Chains A and B, each alone.
Chain A
């Protein structure tokens, strides 16, 4: 039975340090060469705290808003991981690697991922975006324009000079180079 009274969403609590017990099964380790027909890209980086120390127990979720991700046919039945979605975790040096379908630009929006950041110490997850340096026009995207000009670079991944399809992007939780995070 449902009534239509407005309800207040449940409060968030930290994911804590032990999330792998329940969430690891969905952490995608599929190598770039063994995935489907879509063009895959790889983003590598580190999650850092105020002191530049690596955050070794963070979990990231990438979402591209892929059309297919909103319907069951978008699921890869073998893995059950929807297209356009990936969950990764940082390692002992705070580093992460995500391999994911290249997002499409939807003008006036530049190609991007929404990125959710979970970690011990974060009572509520953070939301940011990452744009790909060689794809973004960075002129008309409403979300990029909303970010302070001197901090926009924190939302843009840098293309690797040698390897096509590889990008570099760090997430800084606090401090001088703090990544732009969104209120939501």
Chain B
């Protein structure tokens, strides 16, 4: 089946391999048989569209979901979601989750004994606006230990899940903070072979968007696979 692809295969080195032994959990969970090239059909060229009804007021403010303010460095994370041609992806659903300032997730399988924060649940979501912009208000997540290897610590990160214009644009990733000395030690971050690709997961300090005497801001633009304006052609199945 030869039809023009709207989404090209990943550029070598910019995506992690499934099997990456330094990340131990990948060893028994990654496929080892050859992947089969997926011909693009209508199923791949379309994707779910999420309406404004899915998002409630305040879903993108993780500091205002409980009775009081969470402990931690307040910050704004903002940026744009773009396609491979640099065009804004409008109405993209972004979902986030993160640890609290002490590095603890509000989740039953997190056994790290750092304190929970009764004022921080750690999840949020939003849709990008007409220009592809998004923003979240939150607190800076703390680093935390994990069992991958001796004295392993995850650098501070916020988990991001995104839906773009088609199902092949789907992305789940993590946003990191600039200047974190744990990044070079982290097998998950370093599972991406290409250094420039790794650097693109690190947000930039954005003093222009920060608020005097209140909070800092970090800017992170996200490029999704595909092109938002590629017309779907009925003939290509």
Contact = CB atoms under 8 A, between A and B. Distances in A.
B44 to A, nearest CB: 7
Interface in B139-185: 159, 161, 167-168, 170-174
A81 to B, nearest CB: 8
Contact of A173 (B11, B30, B191, B237): B30
Chain B: interface secondary structure? loop
Interface in A146-162: 146-148, 151
Contacts of B29: 49-50, 55, 119-122, 173-174
A19 B49 contact: no
B85 A6 contact: yes
Given A19-B97, A22-B159, A7 B25 contact: no
Contacts of A181: 31, 35-36
A88 B37 CA distance: 25
Contacts of B201: 10-11, 13
B205 interface: no
A157 B183 CA distance: 42
Nearest to B124: A22
A24 B107 CA distance: 12
Size category of the B interface is 35 or more
Contacts of A72: 49, 51
A124 B16 contact: yes
Contact of A12 (B48, B172, B223): B172
Nearest to B198: A11
A102 to B, nearest CB: 15
A182 B36 contact: yes
Given A4-B85, A23-B161, A80-B54, A183 B37 contact: yes
A13 B38 CA distance: 21
Q: What 5 pairs across the A-B complex have the smallest Cβ distances?
A: A22-B97, A80-B54, A121-B25, A65-B43, A121-B29
